[in-house]
Structure 1
Amino acid sequence: MLETPLRRRPEFYLCAGPTQSRVLPCELESAAVARRLVAAVLDRWELPELTERAELIVSELVTNAVLHARTGGASVRVVVTRVHGDRVQVAVTDLDQRPPTLVEAGPDEERGRGLALVAAVSESWGCERRAWGKRVWAELARS
């Protein structure tokens, strides 16, 4: 009897459009899922040179939302948008209206460098308040 190979179900079903998004639980483990989502999207869009920076960005934004947004265990939304050609925007939305704060962490501090890293590896970044929360985003492009 011939055995058929088992097909692994894909972790993400990606649509054909220029935007991919997922709602994830507001917990630290969601940063890893968000990194895998970003990698899958950029692979599909044939932009692998953006993957490392985009994974860093989404990981920091999700972690910030989990640690600092006072949402009572609600969810976060991760959105990856192909803005134009080789320009991509990565955004994380949460239910806390307080904007993130870019701080200068001291050399002995273990935390506080997330947004500085986002600013360093992105072309631009920002925060948009919503009636129900905020959206923090960063854009990347091929060099």
Structure 2
Amino acid sequence: MNSEISTQIPTPLGELTLRLSSTPRGARLARRLTAQQLDAWGHPHGGDANDTAQHVVAELAANAVTHGRVPGRDFELRLLLLPGDTLRVEVSDARGDRRLRIVTDPEAEGGRGLVLVAVLARTWGVDEREVGKTVWAELPLAARKGPVG
């Protein structure tokens, strides 16, 4: 995690923001909607950019519903298509604990999701919000094959 990188976000070319239930079903829906939105932005299903975005969203959404869940509160998925062929993924949950565990023990049963995010993302981090936190990642995208919007 690189906390020294500015979280100033340039004006997005496209944006999707959704609130989803803090359940495994909500996490699966986040991944499916990401695939659909990336396809609409010209990064087709089965392409590297779409697959990478789905993996990152799956990991962050799974963490939000497993570790960041507060009963009765949803989590938020936000996708921003930024200039320079960059996708910013933000997953916000209601739990304010910013301590994220990156597990490197090969014998551990879980906890490798953030390692995957760190490998796939250009940069990532955690921001506080009024209620809870936002875990974000910025992914490089290949040139689009269709319209933006």
Tell me whether the two structures share a fold, i.e. TM-score over 0.5.
yes
Structure 2 CA distance, aligned partners of 1:100 and 1:56? Answer: 21
One-letter amino acid matched to 1:93? S
Structure 1 CA distance, aligned partners of 2:99 and 2:15? Answer: 24
Q: Which runs of 5+ in 1 are unaligned?
A: 1-16
1:60-79 matched pairs, under 5 angstroms? 60-79=59-78
Give the equivalent residue in structure 1 for 2:124. Answer: 125
Further displaced range: 86-95 or 97-106: 97-106
Q: What percent identity do the matched residue pairs reach?
A: 35
Structure 1 residues 62 and 125: alpha-carbon distance in aligned structure 2, compared to 1, 3 A threshold = same
Contact 2:21 2:74 in 1 (8 A): yes
Partner deviation per Cα, 1:60-107 (whole Å, 9 max, x = no partner)? 111111111141241001011001141111110111111141422322
Aligned-residue Cα RMSD (Å) equals 1.5
Structure 1 CA distance, aligned partners of 2:116 and 2:54? Answer: 12
Q: TM-score with structure 1 length normalisation?
A: 0.82
Q: Which runs of 5+ in 2 are unaligned?
A: 1-12, 143-149
Matched, 1:97 2:93: no
Contact 1:102 1:116 in 2 (8 A): no
Give the equivalent residue in structure 2 for 1:136. Answer: 135
Structure 1 CA distance, aligned partners of 2:30 and 2:132? Answer: 19
Structure 1 residues 70 and 142: alpha-carbon distance in aligned structure 2, compared to 1, 3 A threshold = closer
Contact 2:90 2:137 in 1 (8 A): yes
Partner SS, residue 29 of structure 1: helix
Partner SS, residue 71 of structure 2: coil
With a CA cutoff of 8 Å and minimum separation of 6, indicate the structure with the bigger relative contact order: 2
